Chain A
């Protein structure tokens, strides 16, 4: 599949403060690509640079082979965009905003707009100022999806949505995926990315830390293992075992807590030698995998983004 988004060493700085540094990744056509990172890591800066709202200082960014800065008008014909935070003329009604943006974009099917409005339960007769955060987000989703673009760039799309609408949104993304269109979404909600995305990129302090398939990220997981023994247990039994990164006494003297990265075969063997009565493992979520990338520098300062 051809790449619809390509960035190469993309760098954007805000004067003295750093935005993003040497960000390089490709997103294939038809892919759902998750973008993870804490506040200020550079997710929004990356997306706004792709949208031609910010001009990268170094490197390149293209969408559909078009340069995101010099050909941004052409680029936007391919894209539906939901900003992380957006506002509009507070006196305009939702319907007027949808119609206005529809005219500016062109190629909007009114029947499809109605179906989106109904599906998300948006009341388009209200003025923008009267919308709650969640309803503004629904309006944002309608305008991003309404022209059925080849690529959707969505900055924290479920922020403010209730659980029912979040589920509806996941269905919409799945449909887009099934149609072979592309979604690039950022999120703080890791299970959401785990559920929706094929691949995920993790950004920290403006730099991409990793890009991989969701399943691959989970494979490099650490597991918590709790082993119960019939008699008092010693931490020394497991100190030499392969793949054990930490071992500690559990709730009582007959229990040990282990952190294991990799295969459990040797752990099971050693535990059996010492008369283990129970072994419980805790499967990590993507969230735990994600947090691993932040452990060494969790107290790093916030960045623009």
Chain B
């Protein structure tokens, strides 16, 4: 596996590649197998409400149902996450670790190095596409056959991987223009959300031109799972062409720029008189961010968190703007389909709050928990990379440093709850929407305990485990939690199993108000995990890389 950069990179990708691939395989096999006529027919009632989610086509078939529910919006977002991270760290990660100098000290050219790494990413995405197809075919076999053949399943997987590859290449290009992989990944994630919104807005505004700006739109022009869909194979050239453009730009910039610096980095960093250099000490003295670990953590996380919060604001504002238009449909469907009310929230409702609840609070809690996980994971990452070595050489006790980091993460999550509540409250005022303030408050601030559990879990296991293991455990728990809650309508889990899901315990406060038992219970679990983390951390060695 160490014969070339390509094989070494493939080795590096083996865990995420197999995790994402087999995760998709299992999920698709289960979902396709469960796409029985009863489930498909029941789901058709939802299509009008969820018109932002996809363009319904052949909705009375399993392949139409699967395409609408997962292939148009959900998987393009989820499957792009790893390629974005991989694209951002493709060369920038090596530069940050200081290993790029060693690689380039060999006879490899920069272009070849970059292309071999991209080649490994392409192979990994192809493997994921194949595993996706295997899952679809397996589910199809369980369902009885006759809907999707192997070739169509494979084409659907390839279409998905192509879009993910595009976002990976955008991240690669942006990593040439930024000085850190985190910034590149953050900007690309923002673009992903923007492109998804543009595509959704296009759908809601009856084919408005804005959707043509989104590669997600061109991806959706092909729906290989559906035999009768008028596919436009040439549309696939748009994400492919854009990906190759980004790749070409990356090759050009990478071949010409200084290693460790951005292609457009300001020369002010290089120049500057001795006096100016020393004056930076005076400026640093006045900075609030240097006063404590918690303040430094908040400021360090600030830029990344800002984009998350902006995304949440945009998401809430967009759907608040669309709520009046959806209200009529919503009332109609709920009145005509009693099971829907039970399926969604056990009781009929026809308020703006309910519409917002279905749309906004189905996703924002997941976003807030992912934000919490992202912030908390910096703790094991910093520990492993030796970034805390100097902090621990100061007279700050270990529990204090850990508590300050935990507190900063919790504060950012609290801010996300406040921002959600404020956006929806101010938006309601501006749009003259009547919403139940009590329930909105409950729904917004009930997001805090699941996020605390996510943060607590990371801190609880970070004392003993390496970053990779912490990432795997925390991500697996949250994905399973979300799937468990999503599949509740299809699979009857025992009560105790459901009580393990933070998303299940979050419940539906937008409809039922605050569930103090679950709120306090989850907060207690979060605190208990923090205590475990504190106790563990008192006795462990600070290991390096």
Residue contact A90 to B180, C-beta cutoff 8 Å: yes
Question: Is A287 on the interface with B (CB-CB < 8 A)?
Answer: no
Residues on the B chain within 8 Å of A95, using CB: 280-281, 283-284
Determine which of B281, B293, B296 lies in contact with A98 in the assembled complex, contact meaning CB atoms within 8 Å.
Answer: B281
Residues on the A chain within 8 Å of B261, using CB: 130
Residue contact B541 to A87, C-beta cutoff 8 Å: no
Residue contact B280 to A51, C-beta cutoff 8 Å: no
Residues on the A chain within 8 Å of B96, using CB: 90, 129
Determine which of A53, A73, A102, A124 lies in contact with B396 in the assembled complex, contact meaning CB atoms within 8 Å.
Answer: A73
Residue contact A53 to B281, C-beta cutoff 8 Å: no
Q: How many A-B residue pairs have CB under 8 A?
A: 122
Residues on the A chain within 8 Å of B36, using CB: none
Distance in angstroms between the alpha carbons of A118 and B286 in the assembled complex: 20
Stretch of B39-47, B48-56, B383-391, B487-495 contacting A (4+ beta carbons < 8 Å): B383-391
Contact A83-B393, Cβ < 8 Å, known A89-B387, A95-B283, A114-B281: yes
Interface residue total, chain A, C-beta cutoff 8 A: 51
Residue contact A110 to B281, C-beta cutoff 8 Å: yes
Question: Is B544 on the interface with A (CB-CB < 8 A)?
Answer: yes
Residue contact A93 to B290, C-beta cutoff 8 Å: no
Determine which of A100, A129, A143 lies in contact with B179 in the assembled complex, contact meaning CB atoms within 8 Å.
Answer: A129
Distance in angstroms between the alpha carbons of A87 and B98 in the assembled complex: 11
Distance in angstroms between the alpha carbons of A129 and B98 in the assembled complex: 10
A88 smallest CB distance to B (angstroms): 6
Question: Is B346 on the interface with A (CB-CB < 8 A)?
Answer: no
Residue contact B278 to A117, C-beta cutoff 8 Å: yes
Question: Is A218 on the interface with B (CB-CB < 8 A)?
Answer: no
Residue contact B389 to A86, C-beta cutoff 8 Å: yes
Residue contact A100 to B393, C-beta cutoff 8 Å: no
Pick the most buried of B389, B394, B396, B539: most chain A CB atoms within 10 A of its CB: B394
Residue contact B539 to A55, C-beta cutoff 8 Å: yes
Question: Is A104 on the interface with B (CB-CB < 8 A)?
Answer: yes
Residue contact B544 to A85, C-beta cutoff 8 Å: yes
Pick the most buried of B290, B292, B396: most chain A CB atoms within 10 A of its CB: B290
Stretch of A23-31, A74-82, A192-200 contacting B (4+ beta carbons < 8 Å): A74-82
Residue contact B541 to A125, C-beta cutoff 8 Å: no
Contact A104-B394, Cβ < 8 Å, known A53-B389, A91-B180, A110-B281: yes
Determine the residue in chain B with the shortest Cβ distance to A122: B277
Contact A83-B390, Cβ < 8 Å, known A53-B541, A54-B542, A124-B280: yes
Determine which of A80, A81, A103, A113 lies in contact with B291 in the assembled complex, contact meaning CB atoms within 8 Å.
Answer: A103
Question: Is A94 on the interface with B (CB-CB < 8 A)?
Answer: yes
Distance in angstroms between the alpha carbons of A80 and B395 in the assembled complex: 10
Residue contact A118 to B278, C-beta cutoff 8 Å: yes
Residue contact A96 to B287, C-beta cutoff 8 Å: yes
Residues on the B chain within 8 Å of A104, using CB: 292-293, 391, 394-396
Residues on the A chain within 8 Å of B296, using CB: 100
Residues on the B chain within 8 Å of A79, using CB: 393
Residues on the B chain within 8 Å of A140, using CB: 390
Contact A117-B386, Cβ < 8 Å, known A129-B179, A130-B261: no
Determine which of A73, A90, A96, A106 lies in contact with B289 in the assembled complex, contact meaning CB atoms within 8 Å.
Answer: A96
Question: Is B272 on the interface with A (CB-CB < 8 A)?
Answer: yes
Interface residues of A in 241-275 (CB under 8 A from B): none
Residues on the A chain within 8 Å of B280, using CB: 93-95, 124-125
Residues on the B chain within 8 Å of A77, using CB: 395
Residue contact A99 to B542, C-beta cutoff 8 Å: no
Determine which of A48, A54, A88 lies in contact with B387 in the assembled complex, contact meaning CB atoms within 8 Å.
Answer: A88
Determine the residue in chain A with the shortest Cβ distance to B272: A125
Give chain B's interface residue range (CB within 8 Å of chain A): 35 or more
Interface residues of B in 365-417 (CB under 8 A from A): 385-387, 389-397
Distance in angstroms between the alpha carbons of A88 and B393 in the assembled complex: 13
Determine which of B284, B300, B387, B395 lies in contact with A105 in the assembled complex, contact meaning CB atoms within 8 Å.
Answer: B395
Distance in angstroms between the alpha carbons of A78 and B230 in the assembled complex: 75
B274 smallest CB distance to A (angstroms): 8
Residue contact B278 to A124, C-beta cutoff 8 Å: yes
Residues on the B chain within 8 Å of A72, using CB: 397
Question: Is B190 on the interface with A (CB-CB < 8 A)?
Answer: no
Residue contact A123 to B277, C-beta cutoff 8 Å: yes
Distance in angstroms between the alpha carbons of A81 and B387 in the assembled complex: 14
Residue contact A110 to B285, C-beta cutoff 8 Å: yes
Distance in angstroms between the alpha carbons of A110 and B392 in the assembled complex: 22
Question: Is B260 on the interface with A (CB-CB < 8 A)?
Answer: yes
Contact A85-B395, Cβ < 8 Å, known A123-B277, A127-B269: no
Distance in angstroms between the alpha carbons of A126 and B541 in the assembled complex: 32
Distance in angstroms between the alpha carbons of A72 and B398 in the assembled complex: 9
Question: Is A101 on the interface with B (CB-CB < 8 A)?
Answer: yes
Residues on the B chain within 8 Å of A118, using CB: 278
Residue contact A126 to B542, C-beta cutoff 8 Å: no
Residue contact B395 to A129, C-beta cutoff 8 Å: no
Question: Is B276 on the interface with A (CB-CB < 8 A)?
Answer: yes
Determine which of A51, A55, A102 lies in contact with B393 in the assembled complex, contact meaning CB atoms within 8 Å.
Answer: A51
Residues on the B chain within 8 Å of A87, using CB: 385-387, 389
Distance in angstroms between the alpha carbons of A97 and B388 in the assembled complex: 12
Determine which of B278, B283, B386, B539 lies in contact with A86 in the assembled complex, contact meaning CB atoms within 8 Å.
Answer: B386
Residues on the A chain within 8 Å of B291, using CB: 103
Contact A99-B260, Cβ < 8 Å, known A51-B393, A83-B393, A88-B390: no
Distance in angstroms between the alpha carbons of A197 and B541 in the assembled complex: 30
7 extra A-B contacts, CB within 8 A, seeds A103-B290, A129-B179: A80-B393, A85-B544, A91-B300, A98-B281, A99-B290, A104-B391, A110-B281
On A, residues with C-beta under 8 Å from B are: 48, 51-55, 72-74, 76-77, 79-81, 83, 85-106, 110, 113-114, 117-118, 123-127, 129-130, 140, 143
Closest 10 CB pairs of A and B: A95-B284, A125-B280, A81-B393, A99-B284, A104-B394, A95-B280, A100-B290, A99-B290, A76-B395, A53-B542
> Could you pull out 25 A-B pairs where Cβ atoms are within 8 angstroms?
A48-B542, A54-B542, A55-B541, A72-B397, A80-B393, A81-B393, A85-B544, A86-B390, A87-B387, A87-B389, A90-B96, A90-B180, A91-B300, A97-B390, A101-B390, A102-B290, A103-B291, A104-B391, A105-B395, A110-B281, A124-B284, A125-B280, A127-B269, A129-B260, A130-B269
On B, residues with C-beta under 8 Å from A are: 96, 179-180, 260-261, 269, 272, 274, 276-281, 283-285, 287, 289-293, 296, 300, 385-387, 389-397, 539-542, 544
